[in-house]
Homo-oligomer: A and B are copies of this chain.
Amino acid sequence: MYCYDYPHPAVTVDIVVFTIRDEQLKLLLIRRAGEPYRGKWALPGGFVGMDEDLEQAARRELEEETGVSGVYLEQLYSFGKPGRDPRERVITIAYYALIPSEKIQLRAATDAEAVGWFGMDELPPLAFDHDEIFAMARQRLEAKLDYSTIAFQFLGEEFTLSELQSVYEIIQREPLDKRNFRKWVLALEQIEETGDERREGAHRPAKLYRVIQPGTVAIIK
């Protein structure tokens, strides 16, 4: 038992994990194994340990519940409305993560019954206030495309300009002009040719590019 002179809320982290697969933006959800909302889909997350930083906690929970690790992770917002969890007062620090489609190798772990990717058109109703958290993450992601190089986080080490353009088109839900897109993205001076090509299918091979400073997200103009 842990006792305090005045009441303390519980603190959790929840993570909105995005990837792009099958030409779609996908959200990672777990099916809840325990009460409350047993059997409902929810964002991965859990309680913050007493000796770990918030971001550490988010990475740990993500790893434990889904097997995902080493990805881009950014704090989103904190949610703390009384009553958002029926058990006790719970304040959650929400994060969002972007993972390259190649890296998605899920495992269902101990405290999650099942893990799955859901397209934006096939989202189930979520437990707690996770709909609200997701909506904010979706919005932040879209906004950040315009003023940062966050989109690169969806791609592996090497990628073609068409793949990169597709990331933008999927998130922004609108087609982009190929020439203008290339002009723009190259002018950012954030990617460079690897010298290699990707040859797949009965057509001209595409030049491969890499991010010049991988792991960093630059703020642009």
A residues lining the B interface (CB < 8 Å): 1-11, 47-48, 50-54, 75, 77-82, 89, 91, 93, 147
Q: Is the CB of A3 within 8 A of B3?
A: yes
Q: Is the CB of A50 within 8 A of B7?
A: yes
Question: Residue on B with the closest CB to A89?
Answer: B50
Task: Return chain B residues, CB-CB under 8 Å to A51.
Answer: 82
Task: Return chain B residues, CB-CB under 8 Å to A5.
Answer: 1-2
- How many identical subunits does the complex contain? 2
Q: Is the CB of A81 within 8 A of B53?
A: yes
Task: Return chain B residues, CB-CB under 8 Å to A6.
Answer: 2, 47
Task: Return chain B residues, CB-CB under 8 Å to A75.
Answer: 77-78
Task: Return chain B residues, CB-CB under 8 Å to A47.
Answer: 6
Q: Is the CB of A48 within 8 A of B9?
A: yes
Min Cβ gap A203→B in Å is: 38
Min Cβ gap A148→B in Å is: 11
Question: Residue on B with the closest CB to A1?
Answer: B3
In the bound complex, what is the Cα–Cα distance between A7 and B10 (angstroms)?
8
Min Cβ gap A173→B in Å is: 18
Among candidates B50, B52, B82, B93, residue contacting A52 with C-beta atoms closer than 8 Å: B82
Min Cβ gap A56→B in Å is: 9
In the bound complex, what is the Cα–Cα distance between A92 and B78 (angstroms)?
10
Min Cβ gap A4→B in Å is: 5
Task: Return chain B residues, CB-CB under 8 Å to A4.
Answer: 1-4, 8, 10
Q: Is the CB of A80 within 8 A of B48?
A: yes
